Structure 1
Amino acid sequence: MTESHWLLTGILAAAAFAIRLTGLIAGNAIRRSRLAPLLDDLPGLIVVALVAASLAGQPVLTWLAAAAALAAAWKTNNVVATMLVGAAVFAGLSMTGF
């Protein structure tokens, strides 16, 4: 390997280390901030944002199945039951030609 290859390898290694160190420092700062309690809710907020974005522009049939799945999630607090209800409502309404 030439000197330029070694130099590039060294620069990339330093950059990788700097990225990890920056993440560690930023993570510790965020954990100590007043916004730390929001981190517990972040995964749920991300899922809600993804579902809302995927529902945008969908037909009424999809919205009805999503509403049924939401009701099942609220009532059962079970992911499998929620998926089954949503899929069943979607399939049922699709078969009826809704």
Structure 2
Amino acid sequence: MNTIMLASMASGITTSIILETVLLRRGADQLSWTMAARTAMGMSMVSMLAMEVAENAVDYHLTGGVVAFEDPKFWIAAVLSIGAGYLAPLPYNYLRLRKYGKACH
């Protein structure tokens, strides 16, 4: 179970960093690939880690790690874990907005 949780966290964070890097490179900022990657890794790593840990913790607590697509409890747990993943990084993001006056992503 720990391996699966770590793999899901790693894939979520990696996907987010790749997407942010591409957006910083190709979007309005037009950063170099190196600068875009460094910015993507630095600007929201804490936020992403908090989200992933919260989602996995709630999901595991409610389902025990059992994936049962036909069980409504599984889908309720999925919705609740998404909500927890949204709420977990809010304090950090709020503090960054207060301190720096800009979003971390």
TM-score, normalised by the number of residues in structure 1: 0.31
Normalized per residue, which structure has more helix?
1
| Bigger Rg over Cα | 1
Higher relative contact order (CA 8 A, sep 6+): 2
